[in-house]
Structure 1
Amino acid sequence: MALRPVQVNIKAVDDRAVGRFWAEALGWSAYRPGGTTYVGPAGGLDWPDPVAVGINVVAVPERKATVKNRVHLDLATTSPAHQRELVARLRAFGATPADVGQGDVPWTVLADIEGNEFCVLEPREMYRDTGPVAAVVVDCADPRATARFWDGALDWTPHEVTGDQASFRSADGVGPYLEFLRTPGVKTVPGRVHLDLLPCPGDDREAEVARLRALGATDLDLGQGDVPWTCLTDPEGHEFCVLSR
C-alpha cells in the first residue's frame, strides 16, 4: 500500500491561459478532459504518466496572494546556453522576474502569468534525465520530520534526508524529484499549488486515506462537497489530495 504523485495542482483565475503557459514552458500539450486544464507530455493523456508528473490547472475566482507559494517547480536545463534560452523563451511567454530573497544564485527565479514562482536551474548532473521538470519543491520547517511522513505515504524512494533538505524519486529512477527544503517562515495562507496522489493499482482510496491519517495527515474541508478525491494536509499543513483511479 502506497501512493504516487501524479500531478501538481495549480489554482488559477484563467486556467486555460495558465495551462497554455505551462505547456509552452515545458514543451508539453494542454488538454481539457473535463472542467480543468491538464498539461502533460505530447501524444495524448496517459494518466498516470509512467515518467512525468503532470500539471492540472483548476479555475478559482481568487487571485494569488502576494506571499510566496510554498510549493514550486524547478525546471531542468542541459547547458548554460540552454538555461539562457529557456529563460528568454519563458519571458516571451509572459514570465516575469521574481525576488524571493534568493540573492546571487546560479539559477533564475521567475513567476508565471498569474504570479506563481518557479526556478530555471543551471545544469546539474542529478537532473540530467528528469525531463523538463527537475523537481517539485516544498518549503518546510523540518525536512527530517516531513520526510518521515512522506516516506510512509509514497511508493517513492528517499535519496537524501538531512536537517536542511530531503528528496524522493520514483523507485524506477525516472521523472522528477520531490524535494523538501528548510525555509524560514511559516505557512500563512491556503496553498495555491499542491500535489495530487494516486493509489497504486489494486489499492483502495479509503484504505489509503485511513493509512495517511494514522501517519499524521489531517482532513481538510475546502467546501469540496461530495467528490471522488479526499483533501488532506501533512503534519506541517501542506495540502494534498488523494484521487480515485
Structure 2
Amino acid sequence: MATRLVQIHMKAHDDSALGRFWAQALGWSLSSEGPGVTSLEPEGFTYPDPTAVCIGIVADPSPKTVKNRVHLDLATTSAAHQADLVARLENLGATPVDIGQGDVPWTVLADPEGNEFCVLEPRPVYRDTGPVAAVVVDCTDPRAMARFWGEAMDWTVHVVTDECAVLRSAKGVGPYLEFLRTPDAKTARNRIHLDLRPYPGDDQAAEVDRLRALGAVDIDIGQGDVPWTVLADPEGNEFCVLTPM
C-alpha cells in the first residue's frame, strides 16, 4: 500500500478569482466542480499523474491571520525569465511581500488573497519540474518530517539535513516536496494543505490506519461527513487522504 501527493488544497474568500490568478500564473486550465470549488491542472493533463501536483481552491470565509506554513516555489530558466515572470505576476495582481527573507536571489510575492509564494532564480535542479518547482512546508524538525513523509508516501527522499528535507515522486518527475526548518511554531489551521490519494485497488481505511501507525492523528476541522479522511502529521500539519484512484 502507498499514497502519493496529488494536489494542494487552498482556502480562499473568492475561489473563482484566485483560481483565475493561478491559472494565468502557471498557464494551467481552470474548471469548477461546483459552487465554491475551483480546480487547476496543466493543459491536457490526465489526473492523477506525478508530472504535476494540481491545485484545488475551496471557498472559506475565515481570514488569513498568519504567514502560511505551506507555499509554492515557482521555477525559472534564466534571470530574464525570472524578471519577466515577476513583472507578469504583479500585473496579474501579485504584490511583493517581506517575510524577513533579507537579501536573497529569489523574489517573494503574495497572491491576491495574501498567500506567499516565491519566484526562484534559475536552479538546475528544477529544470524539469514544470512551472511549480516545489511545494514547501515550514517545520521545526526536517529529519522527523523526512521519516514520516518518506514512509507516508511512495516518494523518494533525496535530501535530509537539520535544515531541510527534500522528496520527489519516485518516477523522477514533477515538483519537489520540501520541508524547511523554521523557528516559528504552528499557531493556526493551515490555509494550504496537502491532499494524498491511494492507488486504485488499495483500501482507503487500511491506508489511513497505516498513516496513524506512522504518527498521524485524526483531526476535526469541521469537515463533517465527507468521503476523505483528515489527519495531521507529527507537527500538526493537516492533510487529507482521498479515495483511491
User: Which residue is 1:168 aligned to?
Assistant: 167
Give per-residue Cα distances to partners, 1:88-125, cap 9 Å, x unaligned. Answer: 00000000011110000000000000000000000000
- The letter of the residue matching 2:27 is G
- The letter of the residue matching 1:62 is S
8 Å CA contact retained: 2:50, 2:169: no
Question: Displacement, 1:188?
Answer: 0.5
The alignment's TM-score, normalised by the length of structure 1, stands at: 0.97
- The letter of the residue matching 2:57 is V
Runs of at least 5 residues in structure 2 that lack an aligned partner in the other structure: none
- The letter of the residue matching 1:51 is T
Question: Displacement, 1:37?
Answer: 0.3
Question: Displacement, 1:62?
Answer: 1.3
- Three-state SS of the structure 1 residue aligned to 2:146 is helix
User: Which residue is 1:31 aligned to?
Assistant: 31
Question: Displacement, 1:52?
Answer: 0.6
- Three-state SS of the structure 2 residue aligned to 1:232 is strand
**Identical aligned residues as a percent:** 70
- Three-state SS of the structure 2 residue aligned to 1:33 is strand
User: Which residue is 1:143 aligned to?
Assistant: 142
Give per-residue Cα distances to partners, 1:195-234, cap 9 Å, x unaligned. Answer: 0000022211111100000000010111211101000000
Distance 2:141 2:50 in 1: 30
Distance 2:153 2:215 in 1: 14
Question: Displacement, 1:87?
Answer: 0.2
Question: Displacement, 1:33?
Answer: 2.6
The alignment's TM-score, normalised by the length of structure 2, stands at: 0.97
8 Å CA contact retained: 2:134, 2:178: yes
Distance 2:188 2:90 in 1: 27
User: Which residue is 1:81 aligned to?
Assistant: 80
- The letter of the residue matching 1:40 is E
Matches within 5 A, 1:9-88: 9-35=9-35, 36-43=37-44, 46-65=46-65, 67-88=66-87
Distance 1:212 1:151 in 2: 11
User: Which residue is 1:6 aligned to?
Assistant: 6
User: Which residue is 1:153 aligned to?
Assistant: 152
User: Which residue is 2:229 aligned to?
Assistant: 230
Distance 1:119 1:231 in 2: 28
- The letter of the residue matching 1:179 is E
Question: Displacement, 1:144?
Answer: 0.2
Distance 1:120 1:25 in 2: 11
- Three-state SS of the structure 1 residue aligned to 2:34 is coil
Work out the number of aligned pairs and report it: 243
- The letter of the residue matching 1:182 is R
Question: Displacement, 1:18?
Answer: 0.5
